[in-house]
Amino acid sequence: MPKYQIIAPALPNIPWQEKPENAKNSPLWRYSENPIIDRNPIPGVARIFNSAVMPYGDAFIGVFRGEQTNGIPHIYLGHSKDAIHWDIEPEKIPFVDENGESFMPYYAYDPRLVKVEDTYYIMWCQDFYGAAIGMAKTKDFKTFTRVENPFLPFNRNAVLFPRKINGNFVMMSRPSDSGHTPFGDIFISESPDMKYWGCHRHVMSRGNEWWESLKIGGGAAPIETSEGWLSFYHGVAGTCNGYVYSIGGAILDIDNPSKVKYRCENWLLTPEQWYEERGFVPNVCFPCATLHDPKSGKIAVYYGAADSYVGLAFGHVDEIIDYIKNNSKVNDNDTEIGRR
């Protein structure tokens, strides 16, 4: 049994590859067959990246950012038996309003997929008179009903927690601008009903370390563990040659997730492989989802690579949490409740 407990349903069929002997400098290692989704995966879509997956029945389901050949991103549904080989549906997810009428965003990107109680929620970035968060719910992956846009523009990287906390839905987001946003901290907001959002709190700031000194943003849905909410997020460095996106790790207080308990001063994954360093936007590792198994402690991280591919990395909950704790650096800004 792992030393640290993951609180989630069992996932014995989690994709996995053992740690290579030469792995160093991080508790995560890459799948040797990366990228798992290559260019031109379906007609009309040139690249799939920044996508989220979940267990579904005895297989897996996912929401995928597909960059169409006209350059406009939309969200596509995918199915997989092993969470590695994906069949992507050729049509965009057909979002509808509460009356069942078609209600498509102009564009949609960076989807996350989170199940709370018996409902799956998809959240993404879209136009709402500027870049903002769009959201929909489904129970069967056939009907996808839009819910009210949770936040005012400009905002990106919304990530719902996988259960209510103190009776409310809780969602991370990153207030931004409508362009390439040279700033940004992670906040959380609460809602009793998925319609009205408030009790906004600051979680953590950019800037602790150079690799995340420009901006940070939520990544995968936080994993509930015996140490707190294990969160894989992205941190961005602004270099003379452009932005560099790395994956960071933090552990948030289980009842008050605006309080950061541990925050790793080192990145957990940074662009090193050809599919991360070379592509439509070079030097991007952008986490959007994990699969995790409480019994074995195995964690699989799904991340977009260079705005061109989907990559997969693995780690063990004990090693990841120990690494974050052993290399943790938090300041008052991280540990306070985030209300001013």
Question: Given candidates 26, 34, 50, 308, which one binds ligand BMA under the rule CB under 6 A?
Answer: 50
Cβ 310 to ligand BMA, closest distance in Å? 12
Stretch that binds ligand BMA, among 13-21, 95-103, 278-286, 288-296 (CB under 6 A): 278-286
Q: Does 227 bind ligand BMA (CB under 6 A)?
A: no
Q: Does 307 bind ligand BMA (CB under 6 A)?
A: yes
Tell me which residues in 14-33 interact with ligand BMA (CB under 6 A): none
Question: Given candidates 115, 281, 325, 328, which one binds ligand BMA under the rule CB under 6 A?
Answer: 281
Radius of gyration, CA atoms only, the chain: 18
Q: Does 304 bind ligand BMA (CB under 6 A)?
A: yes
Q: Is the dihedral of CA 116, 112, 155, 265 positive or negative?
A: positive
How many residues of this chain interact with ligand BMA, rule: CB under 6 A?
10
Q: Which residue number, 194 or 244, has a Cβ lying nearer to ligand BMA?
A: 244
The secondary element (H helix, E strand) that includes residue 322 is helix 317-326
Q: Which residue number, 176 or 191, has a Cβ lying nearer to ligand BMA?
A: 176
Q: Which residue number, 76 or 109, has a Cβ lying nearer to ligand BMA?
A: 109
Task: Return the bridge partners of 67, or none.
Answer: 47, 73
Tell me which residues in 160-189 interact with ligand BMA (CB under 6 A): 180
Residue 157: left if φ>0, alpha if ψ -120 to 50, beta else—which one? left
Question: Given candidates 172, 203, 269, 284, which one binds ligand BMA under the rule CB under 6 A?
Answer: 284
Q: Which residue number, 269 or 324, has a Cβ lying nearer to ligand BMA?
A: 269
Q: Which residue number, 205 or 258, has a Cβ lying nearer to ligand BMA?
A: 205
DSSP letter for 304, please. Answer: E
Task: Return the bridge partners of 311, or none.
Answer: 303
CA distance 229 to 227: 7
Cβ 139 to ligand BMA, closest distance in Å? 28
Single out the residue of 247, 321, 295, 303 nearest to residue 14, CA to CA.
295
For strands 73-80 and 169-175, give the pairing. Answer: unpaired
The CA angle 296-314-321, to the nearest 5 degrees, is 70
CA distance 230 to 102: 37
Tell me which residues in 109-128 interact with ligand BMA (CB under 6 A): 109-110
Stretch that binds ligand BMA, among 94-102, 187-195, 259-267, 279-287 (CB under 6 A): 279-287
Cβ 205 to ligand BMA, closest distance in Å? 18
CA distance 175 to 181: 9
Q: How many CB atoms lie within 10 A of CB 201?
A: 18
The CA angle 41-47-48, to the nearest 5 degrees, is 80
Q: Which residue number, 119 or 178, has a Cβ lying nearer to ligand BMA?
A: 178
Stretch that binds ligand BMA, among 54-62, 204-212, 280-288, 328-336 (CB under 6 A): 280-288
CA atoms within 13 A on the CB side of 310: 32
Mind giving me the DSSP string for 51-112?
EEEEEETTEEEEEEEEEETTS-EEEEEEEESSSSS-EEEEEEP-EE-TTS-B---S-EEEEE
Q: Which residue number, 286 or 314, has a Cβ lying nearer to ligand BMA?
A: 286
Tell me which residues in 234-253 interact with ligand BMA (CB under 6 A): 245
Q: Which residue number, 184 or 297, has a Cβ lying nearer to ligand BMA?
A: 184
Site map (CB under 6 A) of ligand BMA, residues 71-110, x = contact: --------------------------------------xx
Residues that bind ligand BMA (CB under 6 A): 50, 109-110, 180, 245, 281, 284, 286, 304, 307
